[in-house]
Each structure stands twice: as C-alpha cells, then as structure tokens.
C-alpha cells in the first residue's frame, strides 16, 4: 500500500536552489480580519476603518493588516519548510508591496538560498526566500527567513555549508508606497495620536507601557488561523517529552502582540513597509505576559512625497518585565524574547 501521508521535509531533504510552490491558497475574509483584531486588539486606524482609509489615506477601503498578510504567507510555507522545525530563528529583507483586501486570495512560493548543518548533526539551518502573491500574480510580500530543522537521520550527509549574506535593512529607495496611499488629508484625531513623522528622531526610546498575557487557547487559535502546522505549537502530548515540556508559542504571535502594544506611542505608524530583521531571543509559553518598547533607528524622507515619511524602528519584547524594569542596555536582559526591526510609513505634518 502506498503511504499517502507526508511527514514533511527534514534538514537532509533540502538542497540549495530547491523551489517550492506551496499548496492551499487562502482567500482572506472579513472573518479572518475580525478574528485577528480580537486576538491582538490592534488599533491602527488604517486597518480598522474603511471610512478612515478613504478619507485620511486615499484608499478605497481598509487593507488587511500587514502582519496578518505576513502570517498567512508564512503559514503557507510551513508544511514544506518548517513543519519539522525546532525554532524559527530570524528574518531579513522583507518588503510589503501590493495591498491585500478582504476577498483577495494569497498563495506563496519559497526558494532555498542557504543551508548549514549544526555541529551536533541533529539539526541544521535552512534559509529560504518566501514570496506571497495575490490572485492576479502581484507580489504582496517577500522576505528571507532562517529556521532550525531536525534531521531524520543524524548520520545523513548534507553537503557543504552555504550561508547567504543579507542586507542589514531595506534602504529607503527600495521601500514601496502602495498605489493610492496618500496622507495629505490625514486626521490625527481619528488616527488616535497627535504625533507625526517629524516628531520622532533617531535614538528615541518609547515605552509602550501596557502588557498582554498569552493565553494557551489564543496562541493556538492564532496559529491555526494562519494554517501554520508546525508540530511544536499544537501537540502537548508530544511536547511533554521535548526540550521544554510544553507547547511553544509561535514567534509571530509575539510580533503581533508587540506591534499591537506599540500603538501607545506610535499610533500613526499605520503602514509597515519593510521587515528589516528580527530574532526570537527566547521561547514563550502560555501564561507569559508580554511588554514592549521601541527605539527609533532612523527617520527618512521619501523623495517626492511631502505627505509621507519613513521610520525604521527596532521593537523589543520581554516576558513578565515592564520596560521600566530594564536599566541600561535593555537588549541584554535575560527576559528578552523578541527583537523586531521594521520600517513604517507615517504621515508628515505639512
């Protein structure tokens, strides 16, 4: 009898240049958008209100939250790339392009661009470039990520290492302003913040103050929403005998919590343009409470756009420790769980 089930790829199954056309395209619905809002409570006006999107941002209707797009594209790649992962490690060179709206269908592809077996020969690092497209074939997002994947056979030969170099950030001349986006009539009262692009400067640190506790049911519901089938997030029976004895929270869940918390201080940072980098510093579990703070890395003008500026932001998240608990170099605190480097488009005051 032919075995019809698929255990997923292990590290020794990957080869440089392999290309995957991921299955199960996903039509984004208003229900997906509402559930995402219920999970994180994000208050950014552009993705909350079609009326605001039209009156303040020049768009016909509200677009799908950028991180929901990211999670859906990421989730498409999991069965082929990381279903046997130990952990997702980092991101680089991510760019958002065509906006996604309710009713659009998202599908994804990935290409293997780097491989490195770990010294213990139990695992290896797989680097891929993943791209998401809409039903017209337009790119909505592309990014690089690297993930630690188990080997099926520790003694299997895997070939020489080849680790790609990635850019430290997406430069401002490669940022994409979506068609129609215009902040010339931006209403900061409805946006929820009086602070425009000109009010931020490199080196500024913003404490987002609030905390959000991770509930077991919510992080599993979120990961199912993205059709992310990585085993470490769901199967307590199996994970009871693993490294931590319990399910790991999907790292993207922490990113979305940190982004939602960042509204307090960055309320007009309504559109993510790029994911420059990121790393999951430590695991999270149900019951952990996440706090976040951000540092402004750079403020860029965009040529020909007096209405829009770009901020490169590095956000940090820690579990069970508010930002005020971190004296000095907070980036080295043992409770740190996330560093996320991204660029936003923000209205200018003019």
Q: What is the pLDDT of residues 274-299, one digit of tens each?
A: 999 999 999 999 999 999 999 999 99
Confidence of residue 140 (pLDDT cuts 50, 70, 90): very high
Between the alpha carbon of residue 238 and those of residues 153, 221, 231, 232, 234, the distances in Å are 19, 19, 9, 8, 9
Find all residues with CB under 8 Å of 213, minimum gap 6, and list them.
Answer: 287, 288, 289, 290
Give the pLDDT confidence of 153-172 residue by residue, as tens digits: 999 988 889 999 999 999 99
For each of the domains in the chain, give its residue range(s) and CATH number, in order of start. 17-347 (3.10.129.10)
Confidence of residue 238 (pLDDT cuts 50, 70, 90): confident
Please tell me the number of Cα atoms within 13 Å of 175 on its side-chain side.
26
The pLDDT of residue 54 is above 90 = yes
pLDDT for 264: 97
The pLDDT of residue 327 is above 60 = no
The pLDDT of residue 331 is above 90 = no
pTM, to two decimals: 0.96
pLDDT for 330: 63
- SS3 category, 274: strand
For the beta carbon of residue 231, count every other beta carbon within 10 angstroms.
18
Rg (CA), the chain: 20
> What six digits make up the tokens of 186?
């931006």
The burial of 150, by beta-carbon neighbours within 10 Å (0-12 exposed, 13-18 middle, 19 or more buried), is given as: middle
The pLDDT of residue 230 is above 90 = no
| Measured CA angle at 58 (ends 56, 61), to 5 deg | 95
Confidence of residue 44 (pLDDT cuts 50, 70, 90): very high
- SS3 category, 334: coil
d(CA 146, CA 54): 37
The pLDDT of residue 116 is above 80 = yes
Average of per-residue pLDDT across 54-66: 97
The pLDDT of residue 324 is above 70 = no
Cβ(307)–Cβ(182) below 8 Å: yes
């Amino acid at each position: 009898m032919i075995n019809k089930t698929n255990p997923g790829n292990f590290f020794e199954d990957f080869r440089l240049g392999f290309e995957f056309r991921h299955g199960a395209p996903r039509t984004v619905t208003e229900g997906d958008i509402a559930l995402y809002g219920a999970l994180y409570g994000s208050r950014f006006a552009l993705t909350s209100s079609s009326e605001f999107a039209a009156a303040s941002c020049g768009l016909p209707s509200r677009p799908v939250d950028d991180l929901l797009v990211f999670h859906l594209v990421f989730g498409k790649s999991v069965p082929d790339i990381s279903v046997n992962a130990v952990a997702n490690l980092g991101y680089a060179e991510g760019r958002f392009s065509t906006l996604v709206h309710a009713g659009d269908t998202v599908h994804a592809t990935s290409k293997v661009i780097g491989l490195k077996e770990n010294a213990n020969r139990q695992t290896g690092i797989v680097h891929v470039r993943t791209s998401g497209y809409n039903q017209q074939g337009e790119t909505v997002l592309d990014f690089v990520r690297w993930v630690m994947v188990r080997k099926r056979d520790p003694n299997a030969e895997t070939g020489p290492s080849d680790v790609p170099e990635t850019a430290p950030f997406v430069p401002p001349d490669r940022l994409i302003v979506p068609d129609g986006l215009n902040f010339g009539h931006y209403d900061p009262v409805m946006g929820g913040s009086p602070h425009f692009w000109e009010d931020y400067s490199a080196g500024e640190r913003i404490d987002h103050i609030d905390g959000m506790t991770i509930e077991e049911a919510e992080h599993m519901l979120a990961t199912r929403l993205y059709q992310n089938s990585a085993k470490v997030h769901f199967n307590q029976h199996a994970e009871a005998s693993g490294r931590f004895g319990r399910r790991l929270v999907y790292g993207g869940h922490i990113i979305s919590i940190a982004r939602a918390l960042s509204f307090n201080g960055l309320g007009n940072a309504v559109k993510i343009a790029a994911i420059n980098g990121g790393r999951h510093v430590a695991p999270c579990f149900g019951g952990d409470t996440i706090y976040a703070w951000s540092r402004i890395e750079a403020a860029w003008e965009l040529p020909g756009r007096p209405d829009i500026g770009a901020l490169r932001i590095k956000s940090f998240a820690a579990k069970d420790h508010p930002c005020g608990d971190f004296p000095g170099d907070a980036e080295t605190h043992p409770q740190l769980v996330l560093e996320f480097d991204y660029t936003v488009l923000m209205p200018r005051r003019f």
